Structure 1
């Protein structure tokens, strides 16, 4: 870890002004925001992140979960994962989010990790975290070591010739299925970004993972009211039962009315370079009878564009089965 200056932001504006001096909003930033620190501090110890200044935002008034006037919910950026998972509003109305949070990390980490930090969680690719190895995400133009190396845990959807790193978050998969909106304040004011637009595909610029600009600060996340009669499920498949990242996961929000699916939203984790919304699977299930054949068609549609590497081809079938099981659970009679 290199030397850095640590200061505490007095308010949101103070944090934004400090962050605006950053060279970039992603890797190599001069200034980084610190909340729980469960990812940032690890990467600083590995010299993957080398900020000259760290701004503590943990005491800003962004730590509340509140019902909104339209029946939805507002989640502050510094709400701890554990608090969010166990909040009555989330457990009762957004079950998929509570389940996803509780499937992630460990109890100790959930007590520290925050909503905003989880949105910005970096990949667990071993080459990204090893500064002795080439990595386009860490050092653009050096190459992607995972393509010809160890790639068992890497993505099969949304990849490019420059990067195949998978997104590690559980929370973000659930937020994708819930069509969350990310609220950001920056030098140019406030803006709201749909979560599917918030994350960027690697393309030729894998070092840029989100739409955030220097100085931008996530202030909160909003969720629309749940669709009437909907049920939601998060299913995570991994090498061991706890403290492990997903090989494949599925978040499903579904409504069955008069024997057919009137509303369905699907997102996959562990298989995409970003939390992966599958509109193809949703289209396959539009007005369909929720049965095994329909679920199989949806799973096939979801993975039709998969591009597995030398060691992760198993993820195609694993993700299909994961989605089928999640759909069964979300549409089973109450």
Structure 2
């Protein structure tokens, strides 16, 4: 890319800020928009190095007014989480620079290292990927940082739940009554809080399932302290909508097979699973759209709503 093209792809103040955090003699020579994000603009920056080579960085920028308002907390949380993860075996980016209040950039931004691999959202090969997802989530929950992140926040309440059009009204009323109760007591864990296939990078050499590995876990802006069940619930809901309700149920089994510990009773597990699933009820389109952009064109809003409805019913049958 020419200098003018780079300047056109990254806002001028932000580009100047990025340049201040590069090594002497380096410059941004390429910009690629990364798709799949919901809350922020994501760009991969190609950096030309002094020896004529290249390396990559990732730039997160919040531009939506709602997220700009909350950016200071979110970007501090992500930068702090990435600093904690740097000394662990959990593959995560390293923070390079953060401007949470847009003191230097046009919008709040975070610059971080780039990880190899890609997200994989296809149904094919899911049986091999689910155990890997589970093992990495167990490893995340095993972390005990000296400074805990903030306590988790529920993303819905019973009074806010609006069942999808055509959903089983009786089942949704029963599900809503479950989360109307006080939250069960829990043993706190370090949570990613947005752990799902869209935030996990895989390396799949020659499509050999035996060589499959996770190369990165990204998007740590919601890092929290709370029950392991809540992270399991969020990944389960995403798997149910992306691949079918049975995979939502399967993930919790895989998590326990990997050594993870969930709530002791079925009722407690049901509470956390439904607390997450019902949070998607009012609008599944923000998650369905990136899946379609990634090639899952059959996942229309209606199709995802039907899978969510079926998953809520399957939870009530399995744990209710």
**Bigger radius of gyration, 1 or 2?**
2
TM-score by length of 1: 0.28
TM-score by length of 2: 0.29
Which structure carries more strand by proportion?
Answer: 1
